[in-house]
Structure 1
Amino acid sequence: MGQDTSRDLGLREKALRAAVTTAGVAAGAAVLVSVASSGLAVYFARRIVVPENQPEDLDILHVSGFDDELVVHLPATKDTILPGTYGLAFDNGRGLAQVGEVLEYDPVSRTVARRVASVISGDLAAARRGRWTGTVFTHPSQLDVPYEDIVLQSDVGELPAWLLPTAAPAPLDTWAVLVHGRGATRAEVLRAGRVLDSIGMPSIAMSYRNDAEVRDGGHSRYGLGDTEWFDVDVAIDYARANGARQVVVFGWSMGGAIAFQAASRGRNRGFIAGLVLDGPVVDWHDVLDNQARLNYLPTPIARLTLDMITRPWARSITGLETPIDLERLDWVTRAAELDKPVLLIHSDDDQFVPSGPSHALARVRFDLVTMPTYDTAAHTKEWNVDPERWEDDVANFLESKLEL
């Protein structure tokens, strides 16, 4: 009595083996989930900081008509059905067409036909895929304004830029420094060229570190504004050396984050009279949270992604020389430090960089921030929807707030 039989011992041994096996499988599964989660976080962390070429992922279904009356047929997307004038880049960026009004929209086939305002370069009829963009000029010669090719000398090397000296008979001694967004080029900022020329304000359309024109092979990493502002200082140096008494920094998207840093940390910050920002990143936490939602990232993975770009331990993974200080880039939290007039142009339909932080900053700093209402444009495409209104808002701000 009380002693195990051989049969009982065998059953217990089998049960023990089964329990050990089950525990091992569970532990292995946990390890696999952890590895997969870490791998996904690495992937998104690198997508945030590693510069990449924008894909041409829009099908060009058909091009009809004659050279001076072309119509392009495209899939109907939230972008391609918007009113206004846009760029359609193709042939790996070598071609660009200016695409104008919607002529026909078929909700059944989900296609749209738009008038081609101009083919800037390339053979649109031969193109099969393209990229929808707010950039409608590739070079200042297309603006009918004066320009010069110049080179800015930065600690990372030469930065190509365009000087738009203005055709006005009496140029202002207030200059504009134009800073494009993440993944774009200096061509993006040319949309401001005509209005600045009309009010006699010389401007510099600059490139900066990590641009396609400047990249150091595969080693370039975006600082999300935490490093690129150094190059804005170099542009201001050039402006001051050539007659500028003060400057206004324009920024599109990440260019807005760069502008905020130049105005608060730059050695030339005392010469910055104001900021004009289009679809700006006012708070990177909000932008990255939004991107996590759009990409269906679980919260733990999103948090690990943020850790990787903000902590020293992940430098070997991300390739960042120094972690990015997202707190320093949060201008809702830092609103009390703002000391320059700001024009915020930010559409409430912007799904890439939500307008919430811009509105928050405008509410708490109503003494310095002007924010007109825009509600139908996609990210940084307010000019494309209504260029006349955009240019009026910019001109009125510069002339009234800066007393030009």
Structure 2
Amino acid sequence: MGRLGRVLVPIAVLAGVAAAGATAYVAASTAVARHVVTPIRRRKQDVRILSVADDLSTIRLGGTGDALRVPGRYGLWFSQDQGYARLGDILAMDDTGAVTRILEEVVWGDIEAATTGRLSGWYYTSPDELGLAVRSVDVSTDGGAAPAWLFPAAERTDRWAIHVHGRGARRQETLRAMPVFHEKGYTSLAVSYRNDEDAPDSPDRRYGLGGTEWRDVDAALDYALRNGARHIVLFGWSMGGAAVLQTAVRSPHADSVRGMVLDSPVIDWVETLDFQAGEMRLPRPVTQGALVLLDSGWAKGLVGQDAPIGLNTLDFTVRAGELAVPILLMHSDDDGYVPAGGSRLLAEQRPDIVTFERFARGKHTKLWNIDPERWNAAIGDWLDQLELSLTDDA
């Protein structure tokens, strides 16, 4: 073999290795991008149920659940979501990291036979558990009828609140907010949106990360206005926050929106996806590739979405100047899923309209769970201030 041959062989080998590596990165990026926009149908069971007291007063848990070792009240789904219980505060923690918590109530299922589960911030699973008047209604969206729960105020009012849950959740996530809004005289509408398990699917069956879901929030605005609303507060949780922000700047009914409440919202999807990739220790090229795929029209066949996400249009640290109504923004430094950097930056950019309630602890969308008194007070006080501004404008 001559000198040229001896050089070309290693180059050919390296080129093959590089091509194989590139193929692996593309495959990994595609998998990440698809995961981001694919509706969640099965939730990870990351809690081990180690023992239950004979009188069902306490439960001992192990595992990696994100709220496992955080104080507060939570729901526990167990036996592949065939059972549900309500948990209270931590009573003890041992050297293995296992915790003993108060077992407040087994709502349904055989918890003594259960071995695995997952913690939830929902706490309530049915609107009937709140002791408030409620009825089921349908909101007409461009995809069909989306079910919602309507909680009428005690007295007739034109003050309404529309509650929008987060990615992979359902209307039950928003139930924690109903009592404080009812106390302040609001009618509340807890909505579903495209690709929920109980609402119509979008044609591509993919999340738009707020960029498409806002149309269903807009349909809820239309429903509220046709049923007596004049002054509407939008309340968004996590990705629901992204949908609410889109609604506020894109809806033809935006002039009826008088304020927004955001709990653990996604203000900047690039920051959020970067953070989540870092938590999973994904190589930087994989993360960057996934972002490119999400934003590219040519990648529709790979990711399965009908149109590019448009990540820049979802970044309200860039679009802060377009916001025009009062905002109560609540986020935890210890969120663990959606970083609070975007929320802090938005609060710094728009101190004229943003009231930032910063929590030091509290996992993602679980601020009520760790400190319901503070959470309810923050909303109640903000609604009082909003009422003063509405009265002044009248």
Which TM-score band applies after superposition, normalised by the shorter structure?
over 0.9
2:291 counterpart (291, 306, 311): 306
**C-alpha displacement of 1:312:** 0.4
- Alignment of 1:148 with 2:135, yes or no, is yes
Residue in 1 that maps onto 2:205: 220
CA distance in 1, matches of 2:6, 2:359: 64
1:195 counterpart (180, 184, 191): 180
Residue in 1 that maps onto 2:217: 232
- Alignment of 1:121 with 2:108, yes or no, is yes
Opposite residue 322 of structure 1, the aligned amino acid is A
Structure 2 CA distance for partners of 1:200 and 1:402, relative to 1, 3 Å: closer
Residue in 1 that maps onto 2:196: 211
Residues 347-391 of structure 1, C-alpha deviations (whole Å, 9 max, x = no match): 111121111111111111100000122111011111000111111
**C-alpha displacement of 1:155:** 0.9
Give the SS at the match of 1:119: strand
1:38 counterpart (26, 32, 40): 26
CA distance in 1, matches of 2:60, 2:187: 36
**TM-score, normalized by length of structure 2?**
0.94
- Alignment of 1:93 with 2:85, yes or no, is no
**C-alpha displacement of 1:268:** 1.0
Residues 206-264 of structure 1, C-alpha deviations (whole Å, 9 max, x = no match): 10001122254994100000000000111111111211112100000000000000010
CA distance in 2, matches of 1:365, 1:220: 35
Residue in 2 that maps onto 1:84: 72
**C-alpha displacement of 1:51:** 0.8
CA distance in 2, matches of 1:217, 1:345: 30
Opposite residue 143 of structure 1, the aligned amino acid is L
Structure 2 CA distance for partners of 1:62 and 1:175, relative to 1, 3 Å: same
Structure 2 CA distance for partners of 1:161 and 1:94, relative to 1, 3 Å: farther
**C-alpha displacement of 1:198:** 1.4
CA distance in 2, matches of 1:148, 1:42: 42
2:304 counterpart (310, 319, 323): 319
Residue in 2 that maps onto 1:359: 344
Residue in 1 that maps onto 2:61: 73
CA distance in 1, matches of 2:185, 2:107: 27
CA distance in 1, matches of 2:202, 2:330: 34
- Unaligned stretches of 5+ residues in structure 1: 1-12
Residue in 2 that maps onto 1:61: 50
Residue in 1 that maps onto 2:371: 386
- Unaligned stretches of 5+ residues in structure 2: none
Give the SS at the match of 1:352: coil
Opposite residue 54 of structure 2, the aligned amino acid is G
Structure 2 CA distance for partners of 1:94 and 1:151, relative to 1, 3 Å: farther
Structure 2 CA distance for partners of 1:216 and 1:260, relative to 1, 3 Å: closer
CA distance in 2, matches of 1:343, 1:155: 30
Opposite residue 228 of structure 1, the aligned amino acid is E
Q: CA contact under 8 A between 2:317 and 2:345: conserved in structure 1?
A: yes
Residues 124-176 of structure 1, C-alpha deviations (whole Å, 9 max, x = no match): 2222111111111111001111110111111111211111113x2x2431100
Q: CA contact under 8 A between 1:76 and 1:112: conserved in structure 2?
A: no
CA distance in 2, matches of 1:217, 1:150: 20
**C-alpha displacement of 1:74:** 3.1
Residue in 2 that maps onto 1:47: 35
CA distance in 2, matches of 1:367, 1:293: 33
CA distance in 2, matches of 1:311, 1:357: 24
Q: CA contact under 8 A between 2:184 and 2:383: conserved in structure 1?
A: no
Give the SS at the match of 1:214: coil
Opposite residue 254 of structure 1, the aligned amino acid is M
Residue in 2 that maps onto 1:137: 124
**C-alpha displacement of 1:76:** 6.6
Q: CA contact under 8 A between 2:61 and 2:99: conserved in structure 1?
A: yes
1:288 counterpart (273, 279, 283): 273
Structure 2 CA distance for partners of 1:101 and 1:302, relative to 1, 3 Å: same
Q: CA contact under 8 A between 1:353 and 1:379: conserved in structure 2?
A: yes
Structure 2 CA distance for partners of 1:94 and 1:238, relative to 1, 3 Å: farther
Q: 227-236 or 119-128: which moved more?
A: 119-128
Give the SS at the match of 1:372: strand
Q: CA contact under 8 A between 1:61 and 1:75: conserved in structure 2?
A: no
**TM-score, normalized by length of structure 1?**
0.92
Opposite residue 360 of structure 2, the aligned amino acid is D
**C-alpha displacement of 1:177:** 0.3
Opposite residue 178 of structure 2, the aligned amino acid is G
Opposite residue 164 of structure 1, the aligned amino acid is F
